């Protein structure tokens, strides 16, 4: 059976998903009913990997309430901008 590359590799990028051509971070808050889904602002798997590697350590902090969602968004926007410059 032949699988597309997207299906084979998407499972390796934890807390991320692709919708259309854009990658998103996607995780559940500890209340088990709320999801956080934020655009990574890229259609590049490599850029998504770099951004996710930078923001992944903060996800448990958002999940347990140690870090606010607004602070997480601010950090993610900074990493997105820096990654775009690196790849630009």
pLDDT per residue over 33-84, tens digit each? 889 999 999 999 999 999 999 999 999 999 999 999 999 999 999 999 998 8
Domain span at residue 52 reads 16-87
Percentage helix, strand, coil for the chain under 3-state DSSP, each rounded to 5: 50, 20, 30
- For position 5, what pLDDT does the model report? 43
- To the nearest 10°, the Cα dihedral for 25, 76, 53, 48? 60
Distance CA 75, CA 21 (A): 23
The structural domain count of the chain equals: 1
Question: Would you say residue 49 lies in a domain?
Answer: yes
Residue 4 above 50 pLDDT? no
Question: Would you say residue 82 lies in a domain?
Answer: yes
Prediction pTM value? 0.79
Cβ-proximal residues to 6 (8 Å cutoff; 6+ apart), any chain: 18
Closest among 2, 1, 79, 71 to 41, alpha carbons compared: 79
In the block, tokens 């992944």 appear at 56
């Amino acid at each position: 059976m032949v699988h597309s590359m997207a299906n084979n590799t998407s499972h390796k990028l934890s807390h991320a998903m692709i919708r259309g051509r854009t990658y998103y971070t996607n995780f559940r808050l500890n209340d088990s009913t709320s999801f956080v889904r934020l655009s990574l602002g890229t259609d590049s798997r490599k850029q998504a990997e770099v951004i996710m590697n930078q923001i992944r350590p903060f996800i448990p902090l958002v999940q347990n309430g140690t870090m606010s969602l607004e602070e997480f968004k601010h950090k993610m926007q900074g990493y997105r901008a820096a990654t775009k410059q690196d790849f630009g």
